[in-house]
Amino acid sequence: MLHFEVKGHEIVVVNFQKKFYALNDRCGHMNAYLSMGALKGSNLVCPMHFAEFDVKTGKMMSPPKEFQIPGLDKLPKKFVEYLAEVGKLMAPVKTHDLRTYEIKIQDDIIHVRI
């Protein structure tokens, strides 16, 4: 996966099964760079909350996941309370599908239609 910025668009280009796909590089949930995430089959996994998006269509395939922090019980009580409040604030945030971009390969150059 590679991140590009072109004409104000942040784009990730993904090579999946020898075919290239271009999508908005910002997660449709909390705006994290998807190019810093992972590819799980044909799904692009957000590095922040692990939402999954199909690289072919941009559709959200799996919503953000709540994750457990190892050693949470050892953190200061006030910090744990803060994390709980942040969780409440983020709970209603919707996750949107990603915009996809048309790709054309010509003379070994990847062209992305903006």
Split into its structural domains, the chain has a count of 1
Distance set, CA 102 to CA 56, 70, 111 (Å): 10, 41, 8
pTM: 0.84
Residue 24 in any domain: the answer is: yes
Q: Identify which of 31, 37, 35, 7 has the alpha carbon closest to the alpha carbon of residue 21.
A: 35
Q: pLDDT tens across 28-71, in order? A: 888 899 999 999 999 999 998 899 999 999 999 999 887 677 88
- Tokens 């072919």 correspond to what residue? 56
Strands (E), the chain: 2-6, 9-16, 19-24, 38-40, 43-45, 52-54, 60-62, 100-101, 103-106, 109-112
Q: pLDDT tens across 99-110, in order? A: 999 999 999 899
Residue 76 in any domain: the answer is: no
Q: Domain limits at 34? A: 2-67+95-112
Q: What is the pLDDT of residue 67?
A: 67
